[in-house]
Structure formats: structure tokens, C-alpha cells
Amino acid sequence: MNTMMMSIYERTREIGIMKVIGASINNIRTIFLIEAGIIGLVGGVVGLMIGWISAQFLNVLANLLLKSEESMIIVDVPWWLGLFVILFSTAVGVLSGLYPALRAAKLSALDAIRHN
């Protein structure tokens, strides 16, 4: 949410210009919600990759320490959990971007263009 609020403050003039050239409130809201969703999606994918790599590292480390003859899987990340992580992080991104998107859509075009 903080990232999206800062994005609005940094792009206030752009929002004003979009409104002047005819962008509707829905267009501006959609732009910011898509941006928030993409930030959440990327965060989820990166988090999933870090988790999966950590799980593989723990499996290798556990097998080295146990010195068993057959390879064991100690930590497993099922596909459905990975899918849930990505969907959940995207949903959290969109929900946290909802207030900033509504705020951006309500900005006055003239005030936004005058903003330094």
C-alpha cells in the first residue's frame, strides 16, 4: 500500500494529464489496480522461488547430515501450495492498492497538473 501511495504522489502530474486528455475514473483506477496486482504477483513468485530453493537446500543438507543410503524428501512444496501463494499475494496486492487507486481516481485534474 505504501508503494502505491508513493506512486500516486510521484505521478500526480501524469494522473492530471491523463484526466485532461480524457481518461475516465475507471481507467485510472484500473491502471493502479493492475499495477498493484503485478507488484503482488511478482512478490509472490519471488517468495515462492526463495521458498522452493530453501526447501531444496534443506533436503540436501538433511540427506548429507543423516547419511542415509536412500534420498529422503524432508521438505516438500506441493504445486497447489505454490498456486495458492501466487494467487494470495496477487489478491493482497490488489486489495492493498484499492485505496490508493480510488484516491488517484478522485484527484482533481487541475490540482494534479499544478502539483510540483
pLDDT tens for 34-70 read 999 999 999 999 999 999 999 999 999 999 998 877 8
Q: CA 42, 44, 48, 50: dihedral to nearest 10 degrees?
A: 60
Q: How many Cα atoms occupy the beta-carbon half-sphere of 57 within 13 Å?
A: 6
Spatial separation of the C-alpha atoms in residues 58 and 66, rounded to whole Å: 12
pLDDT of residue 113: 85
Q: What Rg value do the Cα atoms of the chain yield, rounded?
A: 22
Confidence of residue 8 (pLDDT cuts 50, 70, 90): confident
